């Protein structure tokens, strides 16, 4: 079993950097991809950075869209998310992603894994008329565990839409979902949004996190965001942790949750299962060793 697990992880690691396509996909290609269900999800683990005993224990995963293109292989969000936005396909794409995520949640629950699942949504999605009704139907259909779902808002909401957006996000919170402010620090009005929208979680953008071990200003900004989030009662998540030094600095700065290549790359569902099994195996080995050492 273990060699196979290793193989799946290696395969996922191998696929991840192939982020270039031969020809830029068109909106027709993407519409077809949605119709013909060519999208799938990769899952990136999010771990606890703080509690000494549980340190690096998995608390959830972020679902990231991937496109299995018949001609070009696996395509990554940088080659289709803005295309979806420009061509009015973002809403159907988001429903599709949510459906895939809910199917995966049901399967993990069946396996006994009660993981929190984070899904990326956009401003247009929360402003879509009738969105909550469809959301209710879909989540009921899949018997979703709503208090184990986080919706990450990845895009800046226009000032004129803040009160409506706030109403919708509150309605989602009433259903048990958590709401995250994604890529915090990069938007035009991050602080206004933080003030006006009912977030539970704040994700520090990778552009800061990736520099904290090299650049004093990036560290000061990151520490200040952690402090700000804590004082507002939010869970602070650092994204894009790539090195042991960054990891250690975030632990030291009191950041609650971490995500990044240092912990794990985004993995296919199969590779994620293997990763989970390998980790629990090594946790048991470590436990046995510490018992023998006593
Ligand atoms: P995001 O939500 O900020 O997701 C994190 C991105 O950073 C992912 O890229 C992930 O693979 C990458 N990443 C994670 N850890 C590291 C690291 O340590 N180093 C580096 N260099 N990168 C890291 P990905 O999968 O290419 O997604 C890019 C963006 O596309 C996402 O950024 C999100 O905004 C958007 N996206 C992905 N899936 C969806 C989706 O289903 N719906 C919507 N609306 N947007 C999505
Ligand atoms: Mg995200
Ligand atoms: Mg992010
Ligand atoms: Mg980001």
Say how far apart CA 138 and CA 242 lie, in whole Å.
Answer: 36
Going from the C-alpha of 234 to that of each of 53, 71, 256, the distances in angstroms are: 22, 43, 10
Under DSSP, the state recorded for 150 is E
Ligand nearest 259 Cα, by number?
1
Ligand nearest 118 Cα, by number?
2
- Which helix (H) or strand (E) segment holds residue 183: the answer is strand 178-184
User: Any bridge partners for residue 25, and if so which?
Assistant: none
Q: Is 249 helix (H, G, I), strand (E, B) or coil?
A: helix
Q: How many CB atoms lie within 10 A of CB 39?
A: 19
- Distance (angstroms) between ligand 1 centre and the Cα of 258 equals 14
Please state, rounded to an integer, the average pLDDT across all residues of the chain: 91
Under DSSP, the state recorded for 188 is S
- Distance (angstroms) between ligand 4 centre and the Cα of 46 equals 14
Q: Indicate if the alpha-carbon torsion angle 23, 24, 26, 29 is positive or negative.
A: positive
Could you give the angle at the alpha carbon of 59 between the alpha carbons of 104 and 50, nearest 5°?
A: 165
Tell me the CB-side half-sphere exposure of residue 202, using CA atoms within 13 A: 29
Say how far apart CA 23 and CA 70 lie, in whole Å.
Answer: 13
Could you give the angle at the alpha carbon of 66 between the alpha carbons of 202 and 142, nearest 5°?
A: 75
**Residue holding tokens 């290696």?**
10
- Distance (angstroms) between ligand 2 centre and the Cα of 1 equals 32
Say how far apart CA 154 and CA 199 lie, in whole Å.
Answer: 12
Quick one: residue 8, left, alpha or beta (phi over 0 = left, psi -120 to 50 = alpha)? Answer: alpha
Pocket of ligand 1 (CB under 6 A): 44, 64-65, 76-78, 81, 94, 97, 120-122, 152, 154, 182-183, 206, 239-242, 260-261, 266
> CB under 8 Å to 157, separation ≥6 — which residues?
123, 126, 165, 193, 197
Q: What is the pLDDT of residues 110-164, one digit of tens each?
A: 999 999 999 999 999 999 999 999 999 999 999 999 999 999 998 788 888 999 9
Atom of ligand 1 nearest to the CA of 97: 41
The residue whose CB lies within 8 Å of the most ligand 1 atoms, and thus the one to mutate among 42, 78, 150, 206, is 206
Q: What is the DSSP string of 197-248?
A: S--SEEEE-HHHHTTTTT-HHHHHHHHHHHHHHHHTTPEEEE----SHHHHH
Atom of ligand 1 nearest to the CA of 42: 25
Atom of ligand 1 nearest to the CA of 241: 18
Length of the chain: 294
Q: What is the pLDDT of residues 61-97, one digit of tens each?
A: 999 999 999 989 999 999 999 999 999 999 999 999 9
Ligand nearest 44 Cα, by number?
1
Q: How many CB atoms lie within 10 A of CB 218?
A: 16
Return the residue whose CA atom lies nearest to atom 42 of ligand 1.
120
> CB under 8 Å to 199, separation ≥6 — which residues?
153, 169, 179, 180, 181, 234
pTM over 0.80: yes
Q: What is the pLDDT of residues 253-266, one digit of tens each?
A: 999 999 999 999 99
Say how far apart CA 40 and CA 65 lie, in whole Å.
Answer: 6
Distance separating the N- and C-terminal Cα atoms of the chain: 31
Q: What is the pLDDT of residues 184-242, one digit of tens each?
A: 988 766 899 999 999 999 999 999 999 999 999 999 999 999 999 999 999 999 999 99
Whether residue 10 has pLDDT greater than 70: no
> CB under 8 Å to 216, separation ≥6 — which residues?
none
């Amino acid at each position: 079993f273990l060699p196979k697990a290793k193989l799946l992880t290696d395969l996922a690691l191998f696929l991840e950097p192939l982020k270039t396509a031969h020809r830029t996909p068109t909106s027709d290609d993407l519409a077809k991809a949605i119709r013909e269900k060519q999208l799938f999800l990769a899952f990136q683990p999010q771990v606890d950075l703080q509690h000494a005993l549980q340190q690096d224990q998995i608390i959830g995963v972020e679902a990231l869209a991937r496109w299995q293109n018949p001609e070009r292989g696996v395509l990554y969000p940088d080659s289709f998310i803005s295309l979806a936005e420009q061509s009015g396909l973002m809403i159907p794409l988001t429903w599709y992603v949510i459906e895939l995520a809910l199917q995966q949640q049901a399967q993990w629950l069946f396996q006994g894994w009660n993981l929190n699942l984070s899904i990326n949504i956009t401003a247009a999605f929360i402003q879509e008329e009738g969105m909550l009704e469809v959301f209710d139907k879909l989540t009921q259909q899949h018997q979703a565990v709503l208090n184990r779902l986080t919706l990450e808002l990845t895009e800046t909401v226009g000032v004129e839409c803040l009160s409506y957006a706030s109403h919708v996000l509150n309605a989602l919170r009433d259903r048990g979902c958590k709401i995250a402010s994604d890529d915090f620090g990069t938007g035009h009005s991050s602080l206004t949004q933080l003030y006006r929208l009912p977030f539970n979680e704040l994700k520090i953008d990778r552009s800061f996190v990736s520099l904290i071990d090299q650049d004093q200003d990036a560290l000061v900004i990151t520490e200040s965001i952690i402090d700000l989030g804590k004082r507002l009662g939010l869970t602070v998540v650092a994204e894009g942790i790539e090195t042991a030094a960054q990891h250690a600095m975030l632990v030291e700065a009191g950041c609650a949750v971490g995500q990044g290549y240092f912990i794990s790359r985004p993995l296919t569902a199969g590779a994620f299962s293997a990763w989970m099994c390998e980790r629990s195996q090594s946790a048991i080995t470590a436990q046995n060793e510490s018992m023998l050492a006593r």
